[in-house]
Structure 1
C-alpha cells in the first residue's frame, strides 16, 4: 500500500472524527465498511443527477451527525457509474483497513433501490446473521443508510452492487469464515464510526460467533485461541462447534446465558489461561490479572506438596516451567483439581444456568486433565 494514500486518509479523517483516549494515549477513530459503501452509493446516484465527479461527499450518520467521506475515483460508462473509496479504520486493529470499496450504480425504471453484493463481498451460509442464507453479507443498517441517503437527493430508483477489491483475501484475516460467511468481507456498521477499541471489536465478534454456533445444538465449545481449537480438532471436535473467545471468557459465558436451550459448555485451551478461571478470573489478559502461579501454589499446598515445589512454582516465569516442575514432583493430579474448581467458578458466575467443563492443554497441545464426557461435544 502506497504510504501517501494512508497519509492522505489520516489527514482527511483525523480532525473530523477525533480521538478516543485509551489510558492516556490518543487513538484515532475510523469509518465502517457500511459508511464507505453508503458514500460511494450516494456519489454514484448523484452523478446521474449532476454529472459531477466529487472529491468527497457528505453523509448523515445514524446519530444525526454529518461527516465527509473521501472518494478516490469514478469510472463512467453509458448506463453505469462506478465510484471508489477506501475504508479507514483509524487506530483500530482491522483487517479491512484501507480496503478499496466500490459500487456499480445503474438507474432503474422504477423508484426501488436494490442493493446486492458483488466481487469481494461475502455470502451468508449459516443462520443467525443479519442476512438470510444465500444473501450477500450486507447488514441491515448500511442498507437502510444507503436507501435513506439516496432518497434524500432523488426519487429515482437504482441498482447498487457493492464490491471490494481483494475482498476474498482480506476475509481470510477476519472472523467471517467462522461465522459462515464465505467469499469476501462483510459490509457492516451500527453507528457508522469505528471506535478504536479492539476489546469492543473482539467482544462483538464473540457475540456474533456464539449466535451462529448455538443454532443447532444444546452445547457449545469455547476455545481461548487457535492453538486450543487445533487441539480440540485433533480430539475429534469440529470447528463448527467451537467459538474463539480470547481472554473474554466471562463475557462469552454471559452471552451464552441468553440462550436458554444451552445445557453444557466446554471451555478449553492453554493451561496458563485456564488456571485463572480456578481463581474466579474471567478476563484472562495478563494486564487485568496474572495470579496463575499463586492459584497453582495454593492448590498444590492443599495437596501437601513440598515447600521446594511451591517455591519453584511461585518463582516460575512461564507455565511451561510450572508444568515441568509439577511433573518432576509427581503432582499431576493438581490439573484435575484446578479444572474442577475452574468449572465451579464458571457455573457460579452464570448462576448454574448450564454445566461447564474445563479442559487444559500444555504448549504442545497435550491434554493435562481428564474429561470423561468429551464425546458429548463432538
Structure 2
C-alpha cells in the first residue's frame, strides 16, 4: 500500500476510555529520521512529517521540533516525545536522529547520546546492538524508502535522546543490561492510555459488558494483546467477552466479584491469558503489575523451579536472567519446562480464585511474546 492510500491516525480522537493517545519513542525516532532525510537528500526543512505506522494501513503526522545540518554530510532532526494521557519516564523527552549516507548499501542503526546499547542476551536485539526494537526499526526503514529515490543507497541512522542516560536510570534498563540510555520502543507506534487511574474505572464497564446476558458462562481477562488469538480461536469467545485490563488485575477481579455478587450469580469459568512477565507477579502478591510499582518476575519463576527440584545452577540462572523472556529461552532446553509453566499457571489460578469466589473455576494460560503456549494447551 502506498502512503497516499494510508488512512490518518488522528491523535485528537480520544481512546475509548476518553483519554488522549500519544506517540511512542519509536514513532518519534522515525519522524526524526524522515525529517533529517528530507534535509539531507532534498534540502527541505519540514515543520511536520507523516510516518507510516507498523500496521501499514495508517500514517501519523508528527511535528518536528528542529531540523539542521551538523556538517556537510550529516543532518539532524529533533522530535518531542508526547505520551498523551499515559505519561511515562520518556514523556517530554527530545528524541533525535542524525542521518548520513554510507557506502554499504544498507540501513545501519547506531545508538546516539542517550540511547542505550544491549549488553546481555534475552532482549529483542542482539548483544552490542543499540536498544532499538524491531518495530521501530521497521518503521524507520519504511521512512527511508519513502524519502530516498535510490533504493541501493545505504544510510546510517544514529538515534539519540537528550538527557536519555539520566532518564534510563528511572527505568528497568540498567537491570536489563541496557547501558548508556533509554530504549526506543513501540509495537504499533501509538501509546494507548492504559495505565492511568481513569482507565481503571473503564475496566469496570468492560467487565460488566462482558458479563451481559444470562447465557454467559465464561469470560477472559487479558493484561495485553498476548492471548487474544487464543481467546478468539481456541476458546471461541466473542470480542466483548475478552477484557483488556492493562496492569490492573486486582481491580478487574474486584469489579468482577462485585458485579457477580450484585447479580447473585456465578461464572462457570474465568480465563486469565497473558505473558508470565505480568501474571507470574501474582505469586509475589502483586496485583498491580506496572513495572514502576513491582519488581520483575524472574525470581518467581526461579523460586517455583527450585521448589520443583530443578538443578540449583539452573535456578540461579533463572534468578539472574535479565528478562522473563530470557528465562523462558533458557527453560526451552529443559524437559520439565512445560510442567513448570503448568504449575505456575495453577498457582496463579489458585490465588486468583481466592479473590473471586463467585467464579466456579479459574483457568490461566501463559504465552511467550509470539503468542505460543508455555503450559497447558
TM-score after normalising by structure 2? 0.54
Q: Deviations over 1:110-139 (max 9, x none)?
A: 532211112211222332221011211111
Does residue 1:144 correspond to 2:138, yes or no?
A: yes
Find the partner of 1:50 among 42, 48, 62. Answer: 42
Question: 1: distance between equivalents of 2:112 and 2:187?
Answer: 22
Asked whether the equivalents of residues 113 and 159 of structure 1 are also in contact (C-alpha less than 8 Å), the reply is: yes
Gaps of 5+ in 2: 1-7, 196-222, 225-245, 249-273, 304-314, 367-373
Which residue pairs with 2:189 in the alignment? 192
Find the partner of 1:71 among 47, 64, 74. Answer: 64
Question: 2: distance between equivalents of 1:275 and 1:65?
Answer: 38
Q: Secondary structure at the residue paired with 1:66?
A: strand
Question: 2: distance between equivalents of 1:207 and 1:126?
Answer: 21
Which residue pairs with 2:96 in the alignment? 102
| 1:99 Cα offset (Å) | 1.3
Does residue 1:124 correspond to 2:118, yes or no?
A: yes
| 1:94 Cα offset (Å) | 1.5
Asked whether the equivalents of residues 223 and 244 of structure 1 are also in contact (C-alpha less than 8 Å), the reply is: no
Asked whether the equivalents of residues 115 and 181 of structure 2 are also in contact (C-alpha less than 8 Å), the reply is: yes
Residues 239, 18 of structure 1: alpha-carbon distance in 2 compared, 3 angstrom cutoff: farther
| 1:183 Cα offset (Å) | 2.4
Question: 2: distance between equivalents of 1:119 and 1:188?
Answer: 16
Residues 111, 242 of structure 1: alpha-carbon distance in 2 compared, 3 angstrom cutoff: closer
Which residue pairs with 1:113 in the alignment? 107
Q: Secondary structure at the residue paired with 1:38?
A: helix
Residues 227, 143 of structure 1: alpha-carbon distance in 2 compared, 3 angstrom cutoff: closer
Q: Secondary structure at the residue paired with 2:147?
A: coil
Does residue 1:153 correspond to 2:147, yes or no?
A: yes
Does residue 1:280 correspond to 2:275, yes or no?
A: no
Question: 2: distance between equivalents of 1:228 and 1:96?
Answer: 20
Question: 2: distance between equivalents of 1:160 and 1:228?
Answer: 33
Which residue pairs with 2:85 in the alignment? 91
Question: 1: distance between equivalents of 2:34 and 2:120?
Answer: 30
Question: 1: distance between equivalents of 2:35 and 2:322?
Answer: 39
Does residue 1:241 correspond to 2:319, yes or no?
A: yes
Find the partner of 1:29 among 6, 16, 21. Answer: 21
| 1:208 Cα offset (Å) | 8.5
Q: Secondary structure at the residue paired with 1:81?
A: strand
Q: Deviations over 1:78-106 (max 9, x none)?
A: 22111100111111142111111001111
Residues 103, 202 of structure 1: alpha-carbon distance in 2 compared, 3 angstrom cutoff: farther
| 1:50 Cα offset (Å) | 2.0
- Residues 270-349 of structure 1: matches in 2 within 5 Å? 278=351, 280-281=353-354, 349=364
Q: Secondary structure at the residue paired with 2:15?
A: strand
| 1:16 Cα offset (Å) | 3.8
Q: For the pair shown, which has the larger CA radius of gyration, 1 or 2?
A: 1
Does residue 1:171 correspond to 2:168, yes or no?
A: yes
Asked whether the equivalents of residues 95 and 174 of structure 1 are also in contact (C-alpha less than 8 Å), the reply is: yes
Does residue 1:18 correspond to 2:13, yes or no?
A: yes
Residues 14, 88 of structure 1: alpha-carbon distance in 2 compared, 3 angstrom cutoff: farther
Question: 1: distance between equivalents of 2:179 and 2:40?
Answer: 33
Find the partner of 1:261 among 331, 334, 337. Answer: 337
Asked whether the equivalents of residues 223 and 242 of structure 1 are also in contact (C-alpha less than 8 Å), the reply is: no
Does residue 1:183 correspond to 2:180, yes or no?
A: yes
Asked whether the equivalents of residues 17 and 28 of structure 1 are also in contact (C-alpha less than 8 Å), the reply is: yes
| 1:36 Cα offset (Å) | 0.8
Question: 1: distance between equivalents of 2:95 and 2:106?
Answer: 23
Q: Secondary structure at the residue paired with 1:28?
A: coil
Question: 2: distance between equivalents of 1:228 and 1:111?
Answer: 43
Question: 2: distance between equivalents of 1:117 and 1:194?
Answer: 22
Question: 2: distance between equivalents of 1:21 and 1:98?
Answer: 24
